[in-house]
Chain A
Amino acid sequence: MEALLDINWRLFAIVTLNGLTLASLYFIVASGFSLIFGLMRVVNMAHGSLYLLGAYIGFEVSEATGSWLLGIAAAAVVVGAAGAALQVSILSWMQGQDLRQALATIGVSIVAADLMLAQWGGSAYQITLPGAVSSFVPVPVAGRYAMARLMLIGFALVIGIGLWLMLNRTRVGMLIRAGVDDRRMLEALGVNVPLVFVGVFAIGAGLAGVAGVIGGSVLSVSPGEDARYLLSSLIVVIVGGMGSIPGAAIGALLVAMAETYGLAYTPTYGIVYTFAIMVAVLAVRPQGLLGRAA
């Protein structure tokens, strides 16, 4: 009896930690998505593609150079540039037409998914982690837990705090917040708003790219992941509130926990809980938990 209880608690602890790591990953992806939406009202349906692109680039670079950190840096830069290019080449032409922009990014995501499939094929990749973190560390109750996954939680915290500091304590953040509140006034004050847009798009896309490398190291990379992370970003920001970074954190935590506990304890209905959370939030607060009323 006692042994049974023991095992259950251990499973519970491991599932909880798994949920936290998944929440971290969801947060990093969704915060970029939310940032872009918050300023530009663009629902970037190609966000999952950016995630996947980041993962593939991280894989290639870290394989070629043997350095995981270089892989992350390369993914952040290349995917950030891809996001900026998307904004400059397509989305800036239809600024303000949010539905048309969403449709255009859907088109981009279809083409991108297909080209990535052509380039990297259908098989799954795993990005090699640096030796220092590919070990297991003792954790109370759970026993041993992968260092890399714990690192992911730390990574999400750093990114979350970094984003918060950037938005609330820097001049760029001030411009972004001003743009969210009153874009025209900001423009009238002489700020180059289109440039701010491109910059924010690059940051948001870069976050997706970084998340791709981390996800590809801790989990794996394969075609179809783009849809998965687009979906998770959508639900996270619907639950947390569009455009809110703390909202993305709460949303990611709720969604990832529901998904992980659901899969662990009722495997064939795992997705239902995520969905139930979304519906419940929509019924009570259509703008999301921390979202501002439109």
Chain B
Amino acid sequence: MTLRRLLTVVVALVLLVYPFVVNSFWLVQIGGRTLGFGTIVLSLVFLTAYTGMLSLAQMTVAGVAGYATAYFTAPTGGVGLELAWPVALILALGLATLAGLLIGLVAVRTRGIYTLMITLAVAMAFYYLTLQNYAVFNGFTGFNNVEPPVIAGLDLGAPLPFYYLSAVLAVLCYAGVRHVVRTPFGLALQGLRDEPQRLQALGYNVPLLRVLAFGLAGFVAGIGGILNLWLNASISPGSVALNPVIDVLMAGVLGGIGHPAGAYVGAFVFTIVDNFAIDFIARERFNTLIGLVFLAIVLFSPDGLTGLVRRAWARWAGTGRRRDDAPDDSTNIGK
């Protein structure tokens, strides 16, 4: 327990001090991206770890929030409706939550691999919709020059404020997820992950719980989506295409989809590989590299890097507490 507290303090210190030891590229492109993208991954990990549903539509929900924010704050090519930023952000998060709920409604009667397939179909349908539709999504071009608001003279788009904004939101989301899973609602979710029938027999409304979990994940993904939008300053169908949709899954699996911390670990590793793949492999072959890394993780350590570390730690530290009999989170997902 003390170790966990120590770890929390260390992470908090690193997050605070980080901007003062790195240059602006590392601050925004690595730090900011890890925190924003990681929050989208967090929504996937939350769903997977605590409800057993592996959704591939979390980038889509993030895209809904991103598109909504862009639509209401940065009209492009005559598409959009400029609103005050607080209204725009509330609308964006509301729509993301709604999108999460609707996807949950579509996927609610499915389990495991079917959830994966149906959420992927939803994600791809949304991608083709953004590509085909000009009235709302401005087609292939999407929205450009989306800037974060300036609040009381503080430009949230500047590197340092943007980093801290991302860090605060990421910490809030992480803490929120950790808190929710300890509430009666979160415990019920874990119950339905393990024994849906038993939970049903106890009088819980299992489909409703599942849909609500998707809604909450939609809200978290929406926050990540808005951060991601501001980081890129633009959004287009390419932001919700198959590749980014799979990227979220890959980051989650890399970090370990059994624990929320895995989300940010995975997002960090993914961002690092994304940015520096060029240096140790031929240009543009990033996908081959990350694909092979992903495959290796799936083959050899299904609970990801955090699982790897946890097991190494248990072996190194633990004669006292053997974890061999502990349930293996990742192999049971969706069963």
Interface residues of chain A, those whose CB is within 8 Å of chain B, are 41, 43, 90, 93-94, 97-100, 102-104, 106-108, 110-111, 113-115, 118, 227, 231, 234-235, 238, 267-272, 274-275, 278-279, 282, 286
What are some 22 contacts across the A-B interface (CB < 8 A)? A43-B117, A98-B112, A99-B333, A99-B334, A100-B298, A100-B331, A103-B249, A103-B253, A104-B299, A107-B291, A107-B295, A110-B287, A111-B291, A113-B287, A114-B286, A234-B124, A238-B117, A270-B128, A271-B132, A274-B125, A279-B106, A286-B114
Report A-chain residues with C-beta under 8 Å of the C-beta of B132: 267-271
Expressed in whole angstroms, the minimum distance between the Cβ of B182 and any Cβ of chain A is 26
Report B-chain residues with C-beta under 8 Å of the C-beta of A271: 125, 128-129, 132
B113 touches A102 (CB 8 A): yes
Expressed in whole angstroms, the minimum distance between the Cβ of B224 and any Cβ of chain A is 21
Report B-chain residues with C-beta under 8 Å of the C-beta of A272: 125, 129
Known: A227-B124, A286-B109. A111 touches B287 (CB 8 A): yes
Question: Within the assembled complex, what's the spacing in Å between the Cα atoms of A233 and B267?
Answer: 30
Report B-chain residues with C-beta under 8 Å of the C-beta of A267: 132
Residue B31, interface by CB 8 Å: no
A102 touches B299 (CB 8 A): no
Report B-chain residues with C-beta under 8 Å of the C-beta of A268: 132-135
Residue B197, interface by CB 8 Å: no
Question: Within the assembled complex, what's the spacing in Å between the Cα atoms of A188 and B110?
Answer: 32
Residue B175, interface by CB 8 Å: no
Question: Within the assembled complex, what's the spacing in Å between the Cα atoms of A282 and B302?
Answer: 30
Report A-chain residues with C-beta under 8 Å of the C-beta of B299: 90, 93-94, 104
Task: Tally B residues with Cβ within 8 Å of A.
Answer: 43
A235 touches B121 (CB 8 A): yes
Of B124, B129, B286, most A-chain CB atoms within 10 Å = B124
Expressed in whole angstroms, the minimum distance between the Cβ of B65 and any Cβ of chain A is 20
Expressed in whole angstroms, the minimum distance between the Cβ of A49 and any Cβ of chain B is 11
B285 touches A114 (CB 8 A): yes
B113-170 residues at the A interface, CB under 8 angstroms: 113-114, 116-118, 120-122, 124-125, 128-129, 132-135
User: In the complex, which residue of chain B has the Cβ closest to the Cβ of A106?
Assistant: B246
Expressed in whole angstroms, the minimum distance between the Cβ of B333 and any Cβ of chain A is 6
Report B-chain residues with C-beta under 8 Å of the C-beta of A97: 331
Report A-chain residues with C-beta under 8 Å of the C-beta of B246: 106, 110
B129 touches A269 (CB 8 A): yes
Expressed in whole angstroms, the minimum distance between the Cβ of B107 and any Cβ of chain A is 8
Report A-chain residues with C-beta under 8 Å of the C-beta of B129: 269, 271-272
Known: A227-B124, A234-B120. A104 touches B298 (CB 8 A): yes
Question: Within the assembled complex, what's the spacing in Å between the Cα atoms of A270 and B132?
Answer: 8
A234 touches B117 (CB 8 A): yes
